[in-house]
């Protein structure tokens, strides 16, 4: 239902804003603003995206909770899509998502409403606690055991059938 309302209301808001702004400043300045916000937004998305990737790499290297850098990356990606969409309302929301304080506020809002019980990176399992994710303290199995699957690639050959690779007439 919320998605339907968004698809219905966002274009109506954008059309209304285009009419209002176009009436105040004219057609060409309105189109110039839309193009400039797309170009500026693309540059900001690239810079913020590189910063978010660095934070995500750091969380993976230190085996810390990657939820916040992943959420920031997703919000930056969404901001890029909004900024490339022509319109003033979508640009305002997109620029809000590019501001780190704006993303932090949205992340804190969403974090209160989403509960992640556990996540796993490699063989290390993390469980949720009030202060964030902590490594699982229960004993793990042996470190020298590797779980895996295999597929037998040797062709099934009937021993009574002569080989095609050997000349049997000699």
Tell me the mean pLDDT in the region 93-122: 85
Question: Per the structure, how many domains does the chain have?
Answer: 1
Q: Where are the beta strands (DSSP E) in 106-156?
A: 118-121, 124-129, 132-135
Give pLDDT, residue 30.
94
> Which pTM value belongs to this model?
0.66
Give pLDDT, residue 96.
93
**Is 137 within a domain?**
no
Tell me the residue range of the domain where 102 lies. Answer: 13-129
Give pLDDT, residue 106.
93
- The runs of H, that is alpha helices, within the chain are 2-25, 27-61, 67-84, 88-98, 100-113
pLDDT beyond 50 at 131: no
Tell me the mean pLDDT in the region 148-153: 76
**Is 143 within a domain?**
no
Give pLDDT, residue 12.
94
**Is 47 within a domain?**
yes
């Amino acid at each position: 239902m919320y998605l339907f309302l968004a698809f219905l209301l966002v274009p109506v808001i954008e059309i209304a804003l285009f009419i209002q702004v176009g009436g105040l400043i004219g057609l060409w300045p309105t189109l110039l603003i839309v193009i400039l916000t797309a170009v500026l937004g693309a540059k900001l998305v690239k810079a913020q995206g590189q910063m978010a990737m660095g934070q995500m790499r750091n969380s993976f290297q230190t085996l810390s909770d990657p939820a916040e850098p992943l959420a920031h990356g997703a919000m930056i990606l969404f901001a890029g899509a909004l900024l490339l969409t022509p319109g003033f309302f979508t640009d305002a929301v997109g620029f809000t998502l590019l501001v780190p304080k704006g993303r932090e506020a949205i992340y804190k809002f969403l974090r209160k409403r989403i509960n992640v019980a556990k996540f796993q990176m490699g063989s290390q399992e993390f469980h949720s606690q009030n202060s964030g994710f902590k490594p699982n303290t229960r004993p793990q199995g042996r470190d020298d055991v590797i779980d895996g699957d295999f597929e037998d690639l040797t062709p099934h050959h009937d021993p009574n059938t002569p080989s095609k690779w050997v000349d049997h007439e000699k």
